[in-house]
Amino acid sequence: MTQQTWDEVGGLLPHDEFRAASEAIVANIEQVIAGKTATVRLALAVLLAEGHLLIEDVPGVGKTKLAKSMARSIDCSVRRIQFTPDLLPSDVTGVSVYNQETHDFEFRPGAVFANLVVGDEINRASPKTQSALLECMEERQVTVDGVTYQLQTPFMVIATQNPIEMEGTYPLPEAQRDRFTARIAMGYPDPNAELAMLDGHGATDPLAGLRPVSDAATVRRLIGHVRQVHVADAVKQYAIALVTATREAPDLRLGASPRATLQLLRTARAVAALEGRDYVLPDDLQTLAVPVLAHRIIPTADAQLARRTTDAIVAELVHRLPLPHDRQRSPYDTRPGHGTGNGRGPYEPRRP
């Protein structure tokens, strides 16, 4: 294979170059998805963090449009899978077929052999098919008939699902959800954006006119840049504290996995880079905590009865968790209101 594998990407890019490339992608996607800059940037951040994206929202808010416009903006191989109940794992991964001419089995790659894989309505496929994605999403490889095939870099699965209409669907298993770096909701557009959408989408589909502004090589360089973003120890501690908090929170039956920590930090790097910084801030983690962590955790029955969504639980944790401070402090400088030394644990209710 001529394409690079995923850990051979390069180092730090000049700031301007990174900014220009990333802004171009965002602007391009925004031609289709109006007024959703934050969502679009987050989606791009997930791409740069070498993660996978789960777009979950009600029908008709542009989930598929986002996925497709992102795929179109980058000049790379794109495959689309429409998950249906009768889809088979071999449709996803590929299958070995017998070649009459060579008298041998030959591998025919499935849909995942692309840089961007758009999986539409992923929860409509049976668990059998869904689990075909497990290996490729995490390990970036496909093993069929004992032969392992590496996937290309960048590799990103953008899946959509509908959380409301559950009839005839198979909810994603925990292992599957954990493989998605972030889950984002599109949300309804604001009136102005909707008006612009009416004007723009009235006659033609803007998606058809979308031209790629970047290519796989550029994206690989961007990814390489993101990997170099500095993460201070304090930020790492904060990430660990956040994830630990989900594991210890009384409202949660299952907390976030170590993979979540890793992906949280990776995505934070990407977000920081997209904002033009070469270091990660706790602010980035705070922003990303809900998209990255909320879909991995399972609330307790009590919390479910109380109609507390995982988003709300994670947001509350973020609000309660004090920032760690590992920096050098003078002995006399015990700053009030910081750290665990202020006499209250991390889960006490926030004081007004």
Partner 1 sequence: MTPHRNIGFVAAAATLLAAAPLSAIFERWTWLVQAAIVVSVVAGAAALSRLGRAPLWGQLLAMLAGLTLGLTWVFPGGTELLAFVPTPATFAHFGDLLQTSLQDMRAYGVKVPDVDSLLFLAVLGIGAVAVVVDVLAVGLRRPALAGLPMLAIYSVPVAVYVDSVPATPFVVGAAGYLWLLVTDNVDRVRRFGRRFTGEGRDVDVWEASPLAAAGRRLAVVGVLVAVALPLAVPGMTGGLLNNVGAGPGDGTGRPGQGGTSGRIDLFAALSGQLNQSERFDLVKVTTNEPNPFYLRLGVVDDLRPSGFQARVPTGDQVTRELPDPSERAPRGVEQRTYRATVEVTKNLNMPLLPVYAEPVRTEDLNGNWRYDANQQVVFSNRENARGKRYSFEYVRSTFNPDALRAAPAPPSESAVMRQGTTRPTVPDVERLVTRLTEGRKTNYDKVRAIYDYFSVENGFTYALSTRNGSSGADITDFLATKVGYCQQYAAAMAWLVRAAGVPARVAVGFTNGSNTDGGTYVLTNQNLHAWTEVYFSRIGWVPFDATPAASIPGSVRSAWAPDTDAPEEITPSPGSSAAPGAANPSAGPDEPDRLDKDADQGLAVGESGPARQDTVWPWWLAGALALLALLALPALRRSALRRRRRVRAAPPTATAVAVPGQRGETRQIVVGVDAEAARADAHAAWDELLDTLVDFHVPVDGTETPRATAERLTREALAEDAGAATGVRLLGRAEERARYARDPLTDAELQPALGTVRGALAARANRRTRLLAAVLPPSVLMRWRTALAERSARLVTTTGQARQWMVRWSPRRLLAGRPAR
Tell me the two tokens of residue 95. 């299958």
The 96-115 site mask, x for binding partner 1 (CB under 8 A), equals --------------------
Interaction between residue 337 and partner 1 (CB under 8 A): yes
Nearest-approach distance from CB 11 to partner 1, in angstroms:
5
d(CA 337, CA 110): 55
d(CA 237, CA 240): 5
**Number of chain positions touching partner 1 (CB under 8 A):** 38
Rule CB under 8 A: choose which of 235, 271, 274, 293 binds partner 1.
Answer: 235
Taking contact as CB under 8 A, which single stretch among the options 8-16, 146-154, 171-179, 210-218 is the one that binds partner 1?
8-16
Interaction between residue 345 and partner 1 (CB under 8 A): no
Rule CB under 8 A: choose which of 95, 134, 217, 232 binds partner 1.
Answer: 232
Q: Give strand pairing partners of 82.
A: 120
Interaction between residue 307 and partner 1 (CB under 8 A): no
Interaction between residue 185 and partner 1 (CB under 8 A): no
Q: 3-state SS string over 261-323?
A: HHHHHHHHHHHHHHCCCCECCHHHHHHHHHHHHCCCCEECHHHHHCCCCHHHHHHHHHHHCCC
Interaction between residue 332 and partner 1 (CB under 8 A): yes
Q: Give strand pairing partners of 79.
A: 117
Interaction between residue 19 and partner 1 (CB under 8 A): no
Neighbours of 337 (CB within 10 A): 6
Nearest-approach distance from CB 335 to partner 1, in angstroms:
6
In the complex with partner 1, the residue whose CB is nearer, 270 or 281, is 281
Interaction between residue 234 and partner 1 (CB under 8 A): yes
In the complex with partner 1, the residue whose CB is nearer, 188 or 279, is 279
d(CA 86, CA 63): 22
Which one-letter amino acid corresponds to residue 313? Answer: I
Tell me the two tokens of residue 337. 């209101």
Interaction between residue 188 and partner 1 (CB under 8 A): no
Residues 6+ apart with CB under 8 A from 346: 241, 245, 320, 321, 322, 340
Which one-letter amino acid corresponds to residue 195? Answer: L
Residue 58 belongs to what H/E stretch? none
Rule CB under 8 A: choose which of 79, 259, 322, 347 binds partner 1.
Answer: 322
Interaction between residue 349 and partner 1 (CB under 8 A): no
What backbone phi and psi angles, to 5 degrees, belong to 39?
-60, -45
In the complex with partner 1, the residue whose CB is nearer, 202 or 336, is 336
In the complex with partner 1, the residue whose CB is nearer, 145 or 333, is 333
137: nearest Cα among 122, 158, 120, 123: 158
Interaction between residue 283 and partner 1 (CB under 8 A): yes
Residue 154 belongs to what H/E stretch? none
Contacts with partner 1 by CB under 8 A lie at 11-14, 230, 232, 234-235, 277-283, 286, 318-323, 325, 327-329, 332-339, 341-343, 350
